[in-house]
């Protein structure tokens, strides 16, 4: 199995992920939207609520549907991002740190997810 580097903003390799894990992560449309949104943000650390609100709004979610998405993200999707190694969640300040993975970026570009990035 081939592993691909995940790097921080200083270019230091912090972890590696395999293609199977990346494809499993990106199999869900909303996770692709989250990843594309974070790829489009120049800062590697962002408030999680900003990202979740942008994805919910892009999907027409409001009120209870938006709250359901937040709960689903925190309990289902966030752990998948952390397991792959491209995201760390700081529960204390509510921010996520995004780490660069060239293969993830290339997959998003190949499926056109970057064109629908929500936050710029």
The phi and psi torsions of 10 (rounded to 5 degrees) equal: -85, 0
Residue 2 pLDDT class (50, 70, 90 cuts): low
pLDDT tens digit sequence for 71-106? 889 999 999 999 999 999 999 999 999 988 888 888
Residue 117: its pLDDT value, please? 47
Residue (of 101, 118, 108, 112) closest to 26 by Cα position: 108
- CATH no. of 3-116: 1.10.10
pTM above 0.95, yes or no: no
Residues 26-67: tens digit of each pLDDT? 999 889 999 998 988 888 899 998 888 888 888 877 777 778
The answer to whether residues 39 and 114 touch, using CB atoms and an 8 Å cutoff, is yes
């Amino acid at each position: 199995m081939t592993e691909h580097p995940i790097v921080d903003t200083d270019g230091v390799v912090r972890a590696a992920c395999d293609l199977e894990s990346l494809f499993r992560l990106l199999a869900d449309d909303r996770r692709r939207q989250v990843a594309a949104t974070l790829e489009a943000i120049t800062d590697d650390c962002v408030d999680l609520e900003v990202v979740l609100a942008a994805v919910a709004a892009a999907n027409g979610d409001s009120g209870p549907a938006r709250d359901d998405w937040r709960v689903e993200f925190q309990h289902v999707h966030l752990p998948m991002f952390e397991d792959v190694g491209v995201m760390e969640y700081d529960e204390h300040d509510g921010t996520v740190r995004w780490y660069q993975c060239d293969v993830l970026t290339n997959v998003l570009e190949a499926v056109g997810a970057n064109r629908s990035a929500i936050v710029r």
